[in-house]
Structure 1
Amino acid sequence: MVQSYIAYLAFATVSNITIDQSALLALEAQISYDPKNVLTNSWSSGTSVCNWFGITCDSRHLRVTALNLSYMNIVGTIPPHVGNLSFLVSLSIENNSFHGSLPNELSRLYRLQHLSVGFNNFSGEIPSRMGLLSKLQNLSLNSNNFTRGIPPSLSNISTLEIIDLTYNKLSGSIPSSIFNISTLQGIYLRKNKLSGTMPFINTSSLRVIDLYSNKLSGELPEDMFSHLPSLQRLDLSFNQFYGELPSTLFKCKKLQYLSLWSNNFTGRVPQEIGNLTMLTKLFLGSNDFEGTIPPTLFNCKHLQILSFSANRFTGSVPSEIENLTMLTALDLNSNNFGGMFSSLEVFSHLRNFIICFEC
């Protein structure tokens, strides 16, 4: 009986690895250009799958757990057979020329934690069934040609930490449910065609919100930043937001990078901006801010880049600016500042350059 059981295990192992081998050979068959002949030379049925280039197997089950073909300059499509790699934990094929759509069968990879297909030529919709990848932590579909909307089903993945959909052609609104994923640390949606208003965010683990260059509009909800104690980077540049800045923004005391460039924000910059003492880069240019520069800003002694250009600021530039000893770039162009700077020595500590201080 013992011998029979051992024979059964050996047969099951061979049978399962055969499934993985068949899936990988189906992928190889869809590769139309392999300039380094890596797959041609390595992926052979005469050798163990676990010895193939780009393949990692686990020692216990002898199943394929990782597939990494990044930076190979290969051209091809992804066949549905890849969904048979049931032990796959990591799939990375970034920086190639894969095209076509992502097959729905990828949703069968229920152990998958890392999916990176950035810098390819994929098109079509992001499959809604991707929301079935219940263990996924990192979703990187950046720099492709995905269209239509962001599937709300992604919010079903309670383990997601990074969502990177930058540089695509996504449209429609941002599903508010995505911001309820309790593990989410970074959401990167820059350079798409997303529209609508800013959803309420209730994810205390969130560190990065990057919505640069979309078509988002409306006022920012007053309580939008009430539950973001970990936020370090906020980029809302090149959208169509308007209204005054919500006071809760200045509760994000870990914020290091804040860019609201090229929107339609109005009103004064609140004195509470001085609470953001970790700021290193602040871009408020090309809005409709008015009033004077709040002196509390100079509590932010880590500032390296400061841009207030193309607004309606008035008054004089506070001499306390000389306290920003780490400042390397300053842009105050196209405002209504009055008077002259008392001395260029105020700016003598700018180590690299001044973008413009003629106002």
Structure 2
Amino acid sequence: MQSLSLLHVATLAMEKFHHLSPLGLVLLCFLSASFAVFPSNITTDKSSLLALRAHISVDPLQILAKNWSVGSSVCEWIGVICGSRHHRVTALNIANLGLVGIIPPQLGNLSFLVSLDMSANNFHGELPHEFVGLRRLKLFNLSVNNLEGELPWWIGSFPQLLRLSLSNNSFIGLIPSSISNMSKLEEISLSYNLLQGNIPTGIFNISSLQLMRLTGNGLSGTIPSDMCHHLRGLSLLALSQNKLNGQLPSSLGLSLSCS
């Protein structure tokens, strides 16, 4: 309430001193905007998860409907883990609950989230752009849903990400080249979507990569002949049921592994 009153004061000041110089008006505008921006907290996390609950149309086990109560601590909710240091939501695991719904943009406000697993449900619609704010993510698993649309460019905006799994959905279009920006990535699974075009060559330069599953798409082009030079730790490469051409690098061997 205090923050709102400060913002109100700033606004009144702008109205009262409309005759100020342009520089003075700019300073007042900056002051007003500054009052409107405050750090998020556990209340923000709770509101974000309640927004998710509100976008669930089917909850067969009634876990979110009954356990995610407004009157209880978000850190006590099933599927939610909070960090001991900042007391913020660090993990959300609601996999395999038979949930039907869409993913609301408010989930992008879970700025301390490290692990997100919503796999094996029936979420549909597109990924919200607001996910770009989840910079701490190490696990991102939305596999086995009915998500659609193109894979967004920001999918490569998670500098700490280790595991990315979006398999068994209905994504279309190209694999964004931005994925190659995730230098710590160990596992990537985009199997059984409707992806097309070439595999971005940058993916074959992620030296930390161990598992790459791209089976069951419409991918085309060739595989770099020197891929094992960069992917020395790659233990599994799954590329079947695509439209790739040429020969696989001889360094892969029969096991389709560089390691």
Which one-letter code corresponds to 1:97 in the other structure?
Answer: N
1:167 is matched with which residue: 188, 192, 196?
A: 192
SS of match in other structure, 1:234: coil
- Match in the other structure for 1:207: 235
TM-score calculated relative to the size of structure 2: 0.80
Distance 1:187 1:15, change over 3 A: closer
**In 2, are the aligned partners of 1:207 and 1:232 still within 8 Å (CA)?**
no
- Which one of 225, 247, 251 corresponds to residue 219 of structure 1? 247
Amino acid at match of 2:236: V
Q: Structure 2: which 5+ residue stretches go unaligned?
A: 1-38
> 1:155 aligned to 2:180?
yes
For the pair 1:69 / 2:69, whether they are aligned, the reply is: no
Cα distance in 2 between the residues matched to 1:146 and 1:17:
33
Separation of aligned partners in 1, 2:223 and 2:40 = 51
Q: CA RMSD in A?
A: 1.8
Tell whether the 8 Å contact from 1:96 to 1:120 is kept in structure 2 after alignment.
Answer: yes
- Mapping 1:119-138, distance limit 5 Å: 119-138=144-163
Give me the whole-angstrom Cα distance separating, in 2, the residues matched to 1:104 and 1:181: 24
Q: Percent identity?
A: 51
- Give 5+ residue unaligned stretches, structure 1: 1-13, 236-251, 255-359
Q: Could you list the per-position Cα deviations for residues 248-305 of structure 1 after superposition, in whole angstroms to 9, with x for gaps in the alignment?
A: xxxx6x6xxxxxxxxxxxxxxxxxxxxxxxxxxxxxxxxxxxxxxxxxxxxxxxxxxx
One-letter amino acid matched to 2:173: R
1:57 is aligned to 82
For residues 84-114 of structure 1, what are the alpha-carbon distances to aligned partners after superposition, in whole Å with 9 as ceiling and x for unaligned?
Answer: 0001000001110000011121121010000
In structure 2, distance between residues paired with 1:24 and 1:99: 17
The higher relative CO (CA closer than 8 Å, separation ≥ 6) is in 2
Q: Does 1:188 align with 2:216?
A: no
Residue 115 of structure 1 corresponds to 140
2:48 counterpart residue number: 23
Number of aligned residue pairs: 218
Give the structure 2 partner of residue 266 of structure 1: none
* Aligned partners of 1:71 and 1:93 also within 8 Å: yes
Report how far residue 216 of structure 1 moved: 0.5
Letter in 2 for 1:95: A
CA–CA distance in structure 1, aligned partners of residues 175 and 202 of structure 2: 11
Shift of residue 233, structure 1, vs aligned partner? 3.5
Instruction: Compute the TM-score of the two structures, normalised by the length of structure 1.
Output: 0.58
Q: Secondary structure at the match of 2:194?
A: coil
Instruction: Report whether the alignment pairs 1:234 with 2:256.
Output: yes
CA distance in 2, matches of 1:150, 1:15: 33
Q: Give the Cα–Cα distance (whole angstroms) in 1 for the partners of residues 60 and 254 of structure 2.
A: 41
